[in-house]
Amino acid sequence: MKSIIIRVLKVILFICIMFGILYKINNILMPTYDYHNSYWPGTSTFNEFYNMEKDSVDVLFLGPSVVTNAYCPQVIYDEYGIRSFNLSSEQQSIFLSYYWLKEALRSQSPQVVVLDSLFLEPIHQDDPVNMTEGMIRIGLDPMHLSKVKIEAVNDICRLDPSQQEISYYLTNIRFHGRWETLTAADFKNNGLDVAPLKGYYGITEMGPDSYEAYVPSASTERQEIPENMVIYFNKIVDLCNENGIKLVLVSLPGEPMYDSIHNSINDLAAENNVDYYNLTLQEYIDEIGAELPVESVIYHGNVWGSEKMSRFIGKILASNYNVDAVYDEQWEETRDFYNKYMQVRNLLLIKNISDYIDGILEAKESGIDIILASDGEIFSDEVKNSDKLKRNLTMLGVDAETIIDERELYTAYFHDGVWEEAYGTLKNDIESQIGIWKDRLTVEAYDDERQGVSLEIDAEEIIPEQTHFAIVIYDENTQRVIDISSLYLNDDNKLKLQHINTDES
């Protein structure tokens, strides 16, 4: 009898070890979408959501990537005290919004759900749930195993028989080919402690110079909404009604809008007693008050536009739906993080060299690294005699006299309060040996044909040719290059500052 018990225990132990190994392999092989590698970091969003305290979220935002960039829960909390979470993800259709709402209700009791209308249109007409398989997996793989996930997987495979249920549970079946491309990041638990912005992600790309608002006509034309989108929209309505939640439907500026879809969405909203805000209309554009191109709220709005959009939606939530202000440490603790997050990105708006260097100095305590790279060619005799330039560079912490007087390869790194400078001939590369940049960053001079200085981070070149003095700002909090700027001589031989990148690199 004793030997039988021992054998049984050995079998149980073997099964536990086998499932433990499979679980670990699944996690490693499953692609992650975090703040440092994606504009729409779904992995970070969902991991952070699972860490929220029970019943602490009063407003949920659901929808595709345009929602990720539009609503910043920290701004809404700072302005109105409203506790919200942006539970959107890349190309999240109404189908997936329904299942994430259902999953969210396992731990939260929101008063209002704000749902985006974009995927009421046939975005992916050949896909039954209006999403490609790849986008489904980005949005569904991070969901914890539960009855909700099982139901979602069953529905996907029922609607699309070409997909396999088992591959959603044993993701190594679907992603086994990733063995050949794994990096160190795949072996870390990414997304849990990076950029605690409650699902929001901000981009810094400038918007268009102008925006033509949608003007409805007297047309009675209707566009047919995909059948499954209507079905799952109705499921969202039912789920909200059952839980005493007010559902709000929104079309963001820049989303495709014309009479037929406008009429169809209005009909659908009216039939279900759902409030609909079509923000493509001029009256709402005026009320939001964003000034283009800097404060872009158009389609994928930028960080400056999202502040306007967040204050706008926060006012609606407070005034029209009586969502009360609640003091919560989860938002209080991240206020300083967001302020530093914006301080770093505001550097992109500075055009004057002196002001830019002042801004960098102010942002040094906000978790940034500064990288300088120069081949000395920019320093003409007139520039070399500029006391103002020398003063600015000295304030930044570099050896201004040396880099101006010597036309050689030069680089400097600021990390964790420490500056390191390195010099080399134009024929020799410089490799950083400081902190996180050890073996990751290389500076070299281009040959005579291309000219300028070359800077590589993790073997990826980030400075275009013809750049003779580059300033790179790296945000340690989100592990991304935020700004790449160059000093250059204009036609009047005056030293000027130019931001090379229009968005986070």
Helix extents (H) in 83-226: 94-104, 133-140, 147-159, 166-169
Q: Which CATH architecture has domain 31-333?
A: 3-Layer(aba) Sandwich (3.40)
Q: Quote the CA–CA distance of 118 and 115 in Å, as a whole number.
A: 9
69 close to 306: Cβ distance less than 8 angstroms? yes
Give the number of other Cβ atoms within 10 Å of residue 505's Cβ.
Answer: 15
Q: Quote the CA–CA distance of 305 and 124 in Å, as a whole number.
A: 28
Q: Give which of 356, 115, 431, 361 is closest to 245, Cα–Cα.
A: 115
Q: Where are the domain boundaries for CATH 3.40.50.1110 in the chain?
A: 31-333
Residue 105 sits at φ, ψ, to 5 deg, of -70, -10
Q: Quote the CA–CA distance of 193 and 378 in Å, as a whole number.
A: 41
62 close to 108: Cβ distance less than 8 angstroms? no
Q: Is the dihedral of CA 244, 248, 249, 252 positive or negative?
A: negative
Tens digit of pLDDT at every position of the chain (505 positions): 666 666 655 555 555 454 444 444 444 444 666 666 677 777 888 999 999 999 999 999 999 999 999 999 999 999 999 999 999 999 999 999 999 999 999 999 999 999 999 999 999 988 999 999 989 998 999 999 999 999 999 999 999 998 988 888 876 445 444 344 445 555 454 444 567 999 999 999 999 999 999 999 999 999 999 999 999 999 999 999 999 999 999 999 999 999 999 999 999 999 999 999 999 999 999 999 999 999 999 999 999 999 999 999 999 999 999 999 999 999 999 999 999 999 999 999 999 888 998 899 889 888 899 988 887 676 655 555 667 767 777 777 776 666 665 557 778 888 888 888 777 766 667 777 666 777 787 887 766 555 778 788 888 888 877 788 889 999 988 888 899 998 877 777 677 888 987 555 4
pLDDT for 365: 84
Residue 210: HSE in the Cβ half-sphere, 13 Å Cα cutoff: 2
pLDDT for 431: 73
pLDDT for 213: 97
156 close to 187: Cβ distance less than 8 angstroms? no
Q: Quote the CA–CA distance of 415 and 422 in Å, as a whole number.
A: 14
